Chains A and B, each alone.
Chain A
Amino acid sequence: MAAGSGGKDQSHKAHRSSQAGASSKSHKAKARKAGANGAAVVRGGWNPNLAGNDDMARAGRGKKRQREGQGAVASQESDKPKQPLTKMEKVDRKKRRRLGEDSALAEQKRQNPKAFAFTSSGKAKKMQSRAVEKEQRKLHIPSIDRTYGEPAPYVVVVQGPPKVGKSLLIKSLIKHYTKHNLPEVRGPISVVSGKKRRVQFVECPNDINGMIDAAKYADLALLLIDGSYGFEMETFEFLNILQVHGFPKVMGVLTHLDQFKDVKKLKKTKERLKHRFWTEIYDGAKLFYLSGLIHGKYPKREVHNLARFISTKKFHPLSWRTSHPYVLVDRFEDVTPLERVRENSKCDRNVTVYGYLRGCNLKREMKVHVAGVGDFSLSGVTALPDPCPLPSAAKKKGLRDKEKLFYGPMSGLGDLLYDKDAVYININDHFVQFSKANDEEGDVENKGKNQDVGEALVKSLQNTKYSLDEKLQESFISLFSRNKNLLPEHQGSNNKIEDHMIDMEAAKQGDLVEETEPDGPTKSDTEDSDGSASSDNNDAAPEKLAFTEHVELHGGRLRRKAMFENDYDDTEKDSHDGIEDDHDGDTKISDDDVSSSDSDSSEEDGEVEKLDDDHMGNMSRWKESLTERTGLRKSTNLMQLVYGNSASSMELRAQEKLDTIDNVDSDEEDFFKLKGEGDKKQKGQNDAYFDAEDCSKCMKYTGQNWKEVNIYERIRDRFVTGNWSNAARRNELSVGDAEDESSNDDDDAAVDGEFEDLETGEKYGSTETGPQEEDDRAAEKRRLKKLALRAKFDAQFDVSESMEDEEDEKRGFTSMDSEANQSSYIEKLKEESELLKQKNIAELNELDEESRLAIEGFRTGTYMRLEIQNVPFEMVEHFDPYHPLLVGGIGFGEENVGYMQVRLKRHRWNKKILKTKDPIVLSIGWRRYQTTPVYAIEDRNGRHRMLKYTPEHMHCLAMFWGPLAPPNTGVVAVQNLSNNQASFRISATATVLESNHAAKIMKKIKLVGYPCKIFKKTALITDMFTSDLEIARFEGAAVRTVSGIRGQVKKAAKKEVGNHSNSKGVIPKEGIARCTFEDKILMSDIVFLRAWTQVDVPQFYNPLTTALQPRETIWHGMKTMAELRREHSLPLPTNKDSMYKPIERFPRKFNKLVISKQLQKDLPFESKPKDIPNRRKPLLERRRAVIMEGAERQVHALVQQLQFIKNEKVKKQKLTKERKRKLHEVEEAKAEEVSKKRRREERRDRYRVEDKLKKKLRGRN
């Protein structure tokens, strides 16, 4: 295995360097010679202990190193489940073997130390630095885990090309976990897989959109690969998507291995696929083999093993997901009123989605993005009881059958469906025994007390004979008795049907039941009074039965509402009823209180004063508790004062509106009144409140005389000159106070007996209780720290590690100390983050449920019901359970739209480069949208220069318009969404660099002009600009001619200078610029102006609405230019100037050289042009004829003949030579051909041999 070998390798290396260290000691002289630098490093870097020849120590070290090596290469190793003995033994044997090797090596070393002496200090240094670097690379900044709730089921996405056995695998796994046969895999299926673990299986859809979404919610991806076929593109595409969106755990599963008949071939294929898989992920990534089918199922043993692997996987937090809440929808309901749908089947719908909350806490106000649909704000958020809870405090080893729950409503699994206010029970037909109808006519009420509630409920539901009114009545009677009945059971069992969910929206959300009620406002009134009454006297239940239907109905509904106000009630219970009446009587009073906060604060002041008096005076017990209670009341009041108002401020505003409407008449009367005076009186404080001055300094000082002793003595203890112990107690106590209060809240002990509680006495406590509290605090701190340490330890070391390993750990600790020092910073960070977490948990636990929810939001792991209003009807119509829906929360500023800059690289498997402004589909965060990026690259001076196409093998920048995402978010770009194409679909990957509101990308521009008139060094340039205005913009710009003469644009040319048109009446041409040059230019010169112009990025983005159409159709957005051209069969536009043409160069004609007379005169004679006058007659020498004599003539003739003969000879020789040469050439060519043939054959033979050799070698590997 590579993991093992890697580890071994490292240990070897380490050995060698440690030997280097050893020899550095023994051969000091040598080391000194090696140079101060190297020696110092060697000496400083290596622990002298290592050089010792103690065998035992080395053995321990070797082992440790081996483990590290494994850890380094593959975190996978730790994932190995505890396997039966065989595996353990194997590991053991391996260890022993390695140990043996080690000891043998040590022995050798002792005998022949010189052989192990290090030869080069430089090499030792290099190796050491490499080792250190490796170590550092392993370290990560610890991320703070902020999930406090029970972890949600881990999502196991099963992905693979079609027909590879995905659903069969899920079916087999479900069967393994729950012993149930799953008919069909639709949507996520949650399963309790262990005592502390649940998993949710999802089948990844086969289209690219589904794959992208699946990659965003997967915790573990099972990549199914058809072994008989090999890898397919889908697997690699999915891997790439995973890598970009935070890399969750990945496990490969090979199927279809029974297609191989040949064992050897099978083995080879496995090996090959494994190595290919490793190169893609990391060496040692787990690839699982499913050998074949038995009775149409995977073999039990293998499924079992796979399940073990799944159940021991550890999941690390991924940064995007830990900062965004998300819900993988496992149930989807359309809750639009039927009437509305009937009226218009295409009206906007209201839907509810259900699922476990993952990622981070969800707050009520949060906006969400529904993948493939769009952004919505949540109109209702409810926590529901877990439909698939973990077994409660299981003592037994495994899971009992009853605890093997599973839940997959989309696949029609699970007998119970929980809703916000209903539970649906699904019973198979053959289990049902219909009860007789007459059974529940009269005695439902009686039975309710002693019968099972669920049964009664169902029975009452079965009864269809009755009208709605009667039914309601009955069901509510039973509900009521249920409430009484269930109270003791409440804590007992989880499996019972209960609706103790937190529900704040009860009033807001229109149910059918509520809608039947005609009188809204009166209802709320009765609710109010009823709520307070019900919570006040719990023993008034019988009285309630006497209420009329309506009231009872409300009473039944109101139970939840009462819970909402629970905390107020709880705390208010302590106080007198009188006070409470004062409160509940009208909320508006408190509103007014706030609006005149000044007066209120003064009121508070008064109270404070009073308290102070109490404090100073003799403190009798009852008074103390009284103050205590007022304090408590005040604390709730504070919350109300601050937030209660804001909730009702809407009301207030609405009321104000009404007021103004009412006031219209009265306003008309005093029409001429000065604005601001008339209204002020009527509206009074409200108006002043809206326009209150924004001032942080608004303290009104009371103006006491601080020179007086009794006044300044009051705060003596707040100074270092005062009593330190008093002051310390002030700080300490109040902390204790807060805790005490909260504990009181938790207990909700609302009994009068609380008055005598000793704790209250302690709060004002005498000095003796002080230290004790202090001790408590210290103890608390210690406890926190301990918890943190434990958690850290747990995180560090796998729980499933074998005992032996742990022992090893302990032994290894001593030698690990040095390393601990190295990574102590990391350790410290880890500790800090863990402490922070524990502190958070402690603080949150102090609060009661209600306020915890308010400040924290819904915890991760809760089963949520999210209501979304006004979604397009297509979403409901085209909802497909095979495509799980992802609902992700949107962080601050992420719904805003702007320019984003990403660092992008075209995927190396994508065949084409990408073109600027061609539409492309991006996946960022939860979103997918189409946009038109402009590619750019950063120049050396920081300018972003536009690129027309992405570079081949380089990163480039891309700027586009779209919803913003935080920096460092991963981006996947896809250009082609269609399924039926062979090529790799992922076009590019990127990370977000920054988000901007302005895009600044420049491109080069070259303005070309021609001189139309040339003065000395000034020229008028035409055709460069089109108007004088343009010239004005470019004044001072540098220009250049082709020949390299530099110049500058001056101004637009004056009309009369160069601009006179040839024929009169024609308007003179605009845009002629006057430029000056460093030298005179020619008329044939071309003048360039090189500048930069900004490229604007199109403000276009188009969210992918794949959930709003049938899933099998391909989403069509904006088309690329190439696609459009192909469709319309348009040719590529070509610029004529860019065409390559043969260069025509005319011979240049120069004018005659003219030398001025003055110059001629000064020139030396040699250089003077010699002026020879034309003669009328030629010279005599030319004119005369030469006549030869006889002998002379003969000689001449002879010479000529001889010459002729010689010429003929030469000619002949030449011809023969030519012929011979030609012949020779032909021969040569023939020979060449032959030799070529021979050489080719030789080469072929050689390659063949080499290939064979290579194959052999590969086979050996």
Chain B
Amino acid sequence: MGKVNYKKMKGSQNLRQRLLLSTLSGTPILVEDIRADDKFPGLRPHEVSLLRLFDRVTDDCVVEINDTGTKFKYKPGVVMGGRRVAHDCGVSRAIGYFLEPLIVLGLFGKKPLEIRLKGITNDSKDPCVDTFRSTTLPILKRFGVPSEGLDLKIESRGVPPLGGGEVVLSVPIVQALSAVTWIDEGMVKRIRGWTFSAKVSSQFEIQMIHAARGIFNNLLPDVHIFTDHKAGLQAGNSPGYGISLVAETNAGCCISADTTISYARGDDVGDMEDEKKELKPPQDVGEDMASALLEEIELGGVVDSSHQGLLFLLCALCPPDISKIRVGKLMPYGVETLRQIKDFLGVEFNIKMDTSTKTVILKCMGCGLKNLSRKSS
């Protein structure tokens, strides 16, 4: 009933944040010009899958996509949550892509969410599920999310191009988050890690661990990297291996780096044979990721570069108290998130460069979002 005022946006950028913020703030959006000038215009399969996921988790949301897929309307519904929800994420992006918005969305649902996601668990593009478990969930706990009911279970692994992995995410609901003052990054007290190998030799893992240790040994003795060798059904459909490293500081911050090595997605199958040879050797992977982790540590900040967006988002969703956080260099993704937050929630951050440590300190007052869909008893 009545005319819906759509917020107009352009392009496919930040689709996840836009959909998430649109749902949380209840603003309908209209996105135009999605790759309109591209060779392959319109929404990508993973984006469509994301829309489907939102449709599944919420009640009565309306999505209209035009014929070419270059334009769509999204009218958010009430976040329902619920148990035994399942979603196939497809193989064009990893599950990490879907997890990032989903975990925030689930917090503001009517019922606790328990969802089974199928697809690619580990990918080089998106944060892998191990990192999610070790780094992202603790960040949520900082904001007052109860730890019971917050879990990610990895049932089976799946790497590109064919995927076949499965995880179960459960998110509790909250009434409101709580603001944080989180500027103490602390010192790294231990490094933990997870390697996995699916449909390849478990020897790969040992090589990765060995190489990574070689770098950490100069700095810290407390390094422990777990292995997870999968075979058979649990290994998914494609071979691959990867590593996820987390540095925990004595102030409770987790800084992570991860990657996965596998064959490229099969747009052009003909190159398959060539690419097989190009896979990075495990020693290099271990070394590179260890270096990457050290680089993240050098940047400073209470979270690593890939979690900036989530951190900002959570701060903005807090009750109207001041949150103060410190991050390393502002990443483009974080910057985009900041802009989207201002667009949808009207929350502006005060950003200050901390010159002595080359980090950035952000301050904001939360928008005071409360869980509207929760039922009052």
Contacts and interface: CB of A to CB of B under 8 A. Distances in A.
Contact of A855 (B10, B188, B300, B348): B348
Contact of B376 (A635, A703, A895, A967): A967
A691 B372 CA distance: 32
B133 to A, nearest CB: 16
B321 A146 contact: yes
Nearest to B364: A855
B59 interface: yes
Contacts of B60: 898, 997-998
Interface stretch (B31-39, B166-174, B192-200, B261-269): B31-39
Given A631-B355, A718-B188, A722-B187, A642 B306 contact: no
Interface stretch (B147-155, B274-282, B286-294): B286-294
Interface in B77-126: 77-78, 97, 100, 110, 125-126
B330 A638 contact: yes
Nearest to A723: B187
B320 interface: yes
A699 B372 contact: no
B187 A360 contact: no
B202 interface: no
Nearest to A683: B37
Nearest to B183: A735
B1 A1099 contact: yes
Interface string A354-372: 0000001101111000000
A734 B183 contact: yes
B350 A642 contact: no
A698 B331 contact: yes
Contacts of A891: 368
A671 interface: no
Interface residues of B, number: 110
A612 B197 CA distance: 39
B352 A741 contact: yes
B361 A995 contact: no
A935 B356 CA distance: 65
Interface in A128-176: 144, 146
Contacts of A704: 291, 295
A720 B220 contact: yes
Contacts of A733: 356-357
A997 B62 CA distance: 11
Contacts of A991: 376
B296 to A, nearest CB: 7
Nearest to A608: B358
A1017 interface: no
Contacts of B298: 714-715, 718
Contacts of B374: 967, 994
Contacts of B13: 689-694
A702 B26 CA distance: 41
B213 interface: no
B189 A691 contact: no
Given A856-B365, A966-B370, A706 B290 contact: yes
Interface core residue of A703, A722, A994 (most chain B CB under 10 Å):
A994
Contacts of A691: 11-13, 34-35, 38
A638 B250 contact: no
B146 interface: no
A834 to B, nearest CB: 13
A742 B179 CA distance: 22
Interface core residue of A693, A763, A764 (most chain B CB under 10 Å):
A693
A851 interface: yes
B30 interface: no
A638 B338 contact: no
Contacts of B331: 601, 698-699
Contacts of A893: 25-26, 372
Interface residues of A, number: 115
Interface stretch (A187-195, A470-478, A584-592, A835-843): A835-843
Contacts of A843: 322, 324, 363
Interface in A361-409: 361, 363-366
Contacts of A695: 97, 125-126, 333
B206 interface: no
Contact of B343 (A646, A697, A738): A646
B355 A696 contact: no
Contacts of A996: 59, 78
Interface string A670-712: 0000111101100100010111111111110111111101001
B340 to A, nearest CB: 9
Contact of A699 (B185, B306, B361): B306
A847 B220 contact: no
B125 A706 contact: no
B292 A699 contact: yes
A857 to B, nearest CB: 8
B347 A855 contact: yes
B188 A994 contact: no
Interface stretch (A68-76, A209-217, A493-501, A724-732): A724-732
A552 interface: no
Interface in A595-646: 597-598, 601, 604, 608, 611, 627-628, 631-632, 634-635, 638-639, 641-643, 645-646
A1099 B296 CA distance: 54
A598 B125 contact: no
A323 B319 CA distance: 10
Contacts of B339: 642-643, 645-646
Interface in A1098-1128: 1099-1101
B335 interface: yes
B338 A642 contact: yes
Given A643-B338, A699-B306, A703-B291, A993 B376 contact: yes
Given A642-B349, A694-B15, A967-B374, A730 B332 contact: no
B100 A721 contact: no
Contacts of A896: 26
Contact of A706 (B25, B39, B215, B373): B215
A1172 interface: no
B308 to A, nearest CB: 8
Interface core residue of B215, B250, B332 (most chain A CB under 10 Å):
B332
A1165 interface: no
Contacts of A677: 39
Contacts of B39: 674-677
Nearest to B331: A698
B346 A731 contact: no
B369 interface: yes
Interface core residue of A363, A653, A997 (most chain B CB under 10 Å):
A997
A738 B364 contact: no
A966 B305 CA distance: 35
Nearest to A742: B352
Interface in A972-1013: 991-998
B332 A635 contact: no
Contact of A719 (B219, B288, B296, B330): B219
A51 interface: no
Given A639-B350, A691-B12, A737 B355 contact: yes
A827 B373 CA distance: 31
Nearest to B59: A997
Nearest to A707: B215
Contacts of A706: 215, 290-291, 294-295
Contact of B354 (A724, A734, A1100): A734
Given A724-B187, A840-B322, A992-B376, 17 more contacts: A632-B355, A635-B353, A690-B33, A694-B16, A696-B100, A699-B292, A699-B296, A703-B288, A703-B291, A717-B187, A718-B298, A718-B300, A737-B354, A967-B374, A994-B373, A995-B78, A997-B59
5 contacts: A683-B37, A689-B13, A698-B332, A839-B181, A997-B59
Interface of B: 1-2, 10-17, 24-26, 33-35, 37-39, 41, 59-60, 77-78, 97, 100, 110, 125-127, 179, 181, 183-189, 214-215, 218-221, 250-251, 288, 290-292, 294-298, 300, 304-310, 319-322, 324, 326, 329-333, 335-336, 338-339, 342-343, 345-361, 363-365, 367-370, 372-376
